[in-house]
Amino acid sequence: MPVFEYRTPLKASPQQVFDFILSPANLQAIAPPESNFVYVDPPQLIVLGTHLLCKIQAYGMVQQMKYEIVEMDPPHRYRENLVEGALKKWQHDYIVDAAPEGAAVLTNRIEFEPPGGMMGLIVTADRIMEALEDGFYHRSLALKKVFG
């Protein structure tokens, strides 16, 4: 199963970073504009058991996906799993580690399985990896602006 990881060092405490990524509004704000990523009726803060419905522009069409927060270990990590969507599997870990001088490193670790059928011929693991690399590069730059 493909695994994608992206690490972003930030000039903020682990608690500040964790608090930031618990807000769906913040996650939406750092998404690449071309993705048209939007949460539908999100809560103010993510907690264990939260269900998140989002829409995203991908591969020429708007996709709707539903996630559930299945693990929570503040201020170190939380995990979202895909409940409904085009992919067979999506498990996204948001991991915040302490770094020297009071800084933090945010690691996004995603384990996924591409869709099957005809869609799987177009939306391959390699294409998903490329899209994730582009998207998390944008998010990394946005986070560095937020945290200086």
CATH code of the domain covering residue 59: 3.30.530.20
Domain housing 46: 3-146
DSSP sequence for 102-116: G-EEEEEEEEEE---
116 Cβ neighbours under 8 A, 6+ residues apart = 88
- What's the total number of domains in the chain? 1
What percentage of the chain exceeds 70 in pLDDT? 99
This prediction has a pTM of 0.94
pLDDT at 116: 82
Distances (CA, A) of 83 to 25, 80, 87, 91, 148: 21, 9, 10, 10, 35
Residue 59 pLDDT exceeds 80: no
What is the per-residue pLDDT across 111-127, written as a single tens digit (0 to 9) for each? 999 998 777 778 899 99
